[in-house]
Amino acid sequence: MKQKTTWACIECGQTSAKWAGQCHACGEWNSIQEEIVKETYRKNAPLPSTPKPLLDIPQDENITRFMTGIGECDRLFGGGLVPGAFLLLGGEPGIGKSTLMLQLAAALSEKGKKVLYVCAEESISQTALRAKRLGLNSKSLLLFSEGSLQVITSAVERESPDVLIIDSIQIIYDETIASTPGSVAQVRGAAHELMRFAKERMMTTFTIGHVTKSGEIAGPRVLEHLVDTVLYFEGDRNQQCRLVRAIKNRFGPTDEIAVFQMDSQGLKEVPNPSQFFLEKRPQPESGTAIIPSIEGSRTLLVEVQALVSQSPFSTPARRSTGIDQNRLSLLVAVLEKRLRLPLFRHDIFVSIVGGLRVLEPGADLGIAAAIVSSLKNVTIPQNTLLVGEVGLTGEIRTAQRIENRLKEAINLGFKRCILPKSQAQGLNQAIQDQISLHFVDHIHQAMHTIFKN
């Protein structure tokens, strides 16, 4: 047994050979802490297994999954949970991580699964009070308030649950590691031990992780590489909409999302997100446009709002919520250059309604049209959909999965769509008969088509 001393940042997990006042990775001051890790070296230890040729390994294509009872979660995980999977859920404080995990635990227990919920951050009475408020009743859901990894593993061996939920990984500590709970060494060591335990017992394990100021899961980056699935809880705590996004999934698709609505009874599924985002939309005003966004396997129709006003300062403001700031600057530059609009004199604010983040380039045309609409104080015609990527020369480029976008628009009653000319070929005739399609190949032609009526 040998002790090793390292230095690590408590914000980003970056390690270094010596102490420093400022972390060179994230720039935080006084965030470097000493970590003492005990390492065990084994010399000439026999290999537990021997390497095998790829073709000699039996292929198990039919992965046995079990459903959670929450449809949005089942689709997010890729069709249900896999026994032995190790999942990590991250999000801001108070956004609803513990609420979702408690509801998921109750739903699994109703399906006949034995669930052990380790509420390390609060007492079992506090967790039980939350469960009562959410209307959850389950006899096979076990609550356990403990932070010691050794005590937790002993409880798992005694109870043999099908699903283990750790809330949260930053509170769990390994008594063999000489570091404080929440440190880089403790988080890394506890995660490694929990992963080994989950794989050996084929026990599906969820861990909740806190996030740093930059929005990333706190602790070492190895934590995200270690787990099978990484989920991020997104949304504004001041709004009802909550989104859970899968950015890594070894057993299913990535970039999939689950949409929930937060109310006094907890999180409720939103089966039709497009209708949810547009149901409270008032009569069309200048500066608003509807865009179809692809999120995983589904299409969401969302509203983008833009406000363009005369700037009293020499350097106008550029602010965005829900879209990339650099993408906004690029679109403003294209509009100034190709349409000769005096946007350099105006403050520009762009927002996606509902707290959704739209990062795909297919939303470019809708964002650009909303900016022009606000600048000219002209309303985009009602029931008009805008889709297409805007290039630096002003060309309108292809957007992926155009038929899925059009089908969603037709289902919600949209009658008109402006889309790239390059996608005129190959469209289903049945779709073309239900919606008026206008094909454009340049930003100038697109604006003329949008506002000509």
Q: Are residues 130 and 202 in the same domain?
A: yes
The residue that leads in pLDDT, 357 or 340, is: 340
- Nearest alpha carbon to residue 228 among 83, 88, 397: 88
Q: Are residues 103 and 249 in the same domain?
A: yes
Q: Are residues 321 and 443 in the same domain?
A: yes
CATH number of the domain at 403, please: 3.30.230.10
Span 423-444, average pLDDT: 91
Q: Residue 441 — pLDDT band, cuts 50, 70, 90?
A: very high
Instruction: Decide: helix, strand or coil at residue 311.
Output: coil
Span 90-95, average pLDDT: 86
Give the rounded percent of residues in the chain with a pLDDT score beyond 90: 53
Q: Are residues 149 and 296 in the same domain?
A: no
pLDDT of residue 71 exceeding 80, the answer is yes
Q: Are residues 93 and 224 in the same domain?
A: yes
Tokens 């909550």 locate to 242
Q: Are residues 15 and 164 in the same domain?
A: no
Q: Are residues 390 and 403 in the same domain?
A: yes
Span 265-290, average pLDDT: 85
- CA distances (Å), 255 to each of 6, 77, 208, in order? 35, 11, 19
- pTM for the model stands at 0.79
* Domain annotation covers residue 48: no
* Domain annotation covers residue 323: yes
Maximum alpha-carbon separation in the chain: 81
Cβ contact 10:188 at 8 Å? no
pLDDT of residue 1 exceeding 50, the answer is no
Cβ contact 115:109 at 8 Å? yes
Q: Is residue 224 within a helix (H) or strand (E), and if so which, with residue range?
A: helix 222-226
CATH number of the domain at 241, please: 3.40.50.300
The residue that leads in pLDDT, 160 or 31, is: 160
Q: Residue 13 — pLDDT band, cuts 50, 70, 90?
A: low
Residues 382-414 pLDDT 10s: 889 999 999 999 999 999 999 999 999 999 999
Q: What is the DSSP string of 343-358?
A: GGGEEEEEEETTS---
pLDDT of residue 165 exceeding 80, the answer is yes
Q: Is residue 382 within a helix (H) or strand (E), and if so which, with residue range?
A: none
* Domain annotation covers residue 13: yes
Q: Are residues 88 and 184 in the same domain?
A: yes
Please report, in angstroms and rounded to a whole number, the separation of the first and last CA atoms in the chain. 79
Residues 285-320 pLDDT 10s: 899 999 999 887 889 999 999 999 999 888 999 999
* Domain annotation covers residue 320: yes
Residue 116 belongs to domain spanning:
64-271
Cβ contact 374:287 at 8 Å? yes
Cis peptide before 168 (omega within 30 of 0): yes
Angle at 151 between CA 147 and CA 157, to 5 degrees: 130
Rounded to whole angstroms, how far apart are CA atoms 341 and 167?
A: 52
* Domain annotation covers residue 423: yes
- Nearest alpha carbon to residue 364 among 401, 334, 338: 334
Question: Residue 408's CB: how many other CB atoms inside 10 A?
Answer: 21
Instruction: Decide: helix, strand or coil at residue 126.
Output: helix
Question: E-strand spans in 241-297?
Answer: 241-249, 257-263, 266-269, 288-295
Residues 326-356 pLDDT 10s: 999 999 999 999 999 999 999 999 999 887 8
CA 15 to chain CA mean position, Å: 27
* Domain annotation covers residue 51: no
Residues 223-251 pLDDT 10s: 888 899 999 988 777 777 888 989 899 98
Total structural domains within the chain: 3
pLDDT of residue 220 exceeding 60, the answer is no
Q: Compute the half-sphere exposure of residue 100: CA atoms within 13 Å on the CB side of its CA.
A: 27
Cβ contact 346:408 at 8 Å? no
Phi-psi region of 186 (alpha: psi -120 to 50; beta: other; left: phi over 0): alpha
The residue that leads in pLDDT, 32 or 337, is: 337
Q: Are residues 286 and 369 in the same domain?
A: yes
Lowest mean pLDDT among 11-20, 342-351, 362-371: 11-20
Q: Are residues 85 and 229 in the same domain?
A: yes
Rounded to whole angstroms, how far apart are CA atoms 223 and 166?
A: 14
Q: Are residues 299 and 261 in the same domain?
A: no
Question: Would you report the helix, strand and coil content of the chain in percent, each value rounded to 5?
Answer: 30, 30, 40
Span 2-31, average pLDDT: 74
Q: pLDDT at position 144, please?
A: 94
The strand pairing partners of 167, in sequence order, are 119, 208
* Domain annotation covers residue 128: yes
Q: Are residues 317 and 431 in the same domain?
A: yes
pLDDT of residue 157 exceeding 90, the answer is yes
* Domain annotation covers residue 56: no
